[in-house]
């Protein structure tokens, strides 16, 4: 059983972060939300938490970027910077910028720029997504 605070919410959500239904539990304004992974635009590191960005909303989850990078990779997420993971399925387009970096424009118009350090992993994930073709779209529908 988790330790409870005054409002009876678990203080340690790490064990609850990714649940089998393809959702992540995020917190906002002292409420817990069940967020469909496919709807997450990007994940950003914030101290001992990660911020899950969904459209114009931001939710916190107690987790590490390292853990989520591995857990979400099969679902189309790729690390573009030390503190950023993006959902390639939510990208409208990408363009090359200085020294091997990419600028990703999301469907909601937000623009995120990668570090050239992650160039190889980004290209591998883009190629993998292209080679999966129809199967990737079918996997998304299942979530």
Q: Please write the tens of the pLDDT for every residue from 67-92.
A: 999 999 988 999 999 999 999 999 99
Helix, coil or strand: residue 23: strand
Helix, coil or strand: residue 128: helix
- CA 69, 73, 75, 81 dihedral sign is positive
What phi, psi does 14 have (nearest 5°)? -55, -40
Please, which residues have CB within 8 angstroms of residue 131's CB and are 6 or more apart in sequence?
A: none
Residue 54 parent element (H or E): strand 49-54
Which domains are seen in the chain, by residue range? 14-142 (2.40.50.1020)
pTM of the model: 0.78
Q: Please write the tens of the pLDDT for every residue from 125-139.
A: 888 876 555 344 444
């Amino acid at each position: 059983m988790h330790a409870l605070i005054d409002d009876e919410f678990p203080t340690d959500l790490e064990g609850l972060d990714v649940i089998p239904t393809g959702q992540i539990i995020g917190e906002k304004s002292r409420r817990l939300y069940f967020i469909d992974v496919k709807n997450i635009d990007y994940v950003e590191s914030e101290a001992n938490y990660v911020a899950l960005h969904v459209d114009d909303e931001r939710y916190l989850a107690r987790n590490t970027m390292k853990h989520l990078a591995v857990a979400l990779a099969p679902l189309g997420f790729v690390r573009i910077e030390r503190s950023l993971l993006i959902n390639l399925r939510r990208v409208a387009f990408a363009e090359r910028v200085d020294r091997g970096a990419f600028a990703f424009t999301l469907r909601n118009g937000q623009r995120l720029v990668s570090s050239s350090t992650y160039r190889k992993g980004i290209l591998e994930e883009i190629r993998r997504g292209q080679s999966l073709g129809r199967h990737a779209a079918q996997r998304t529908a299942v979530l």
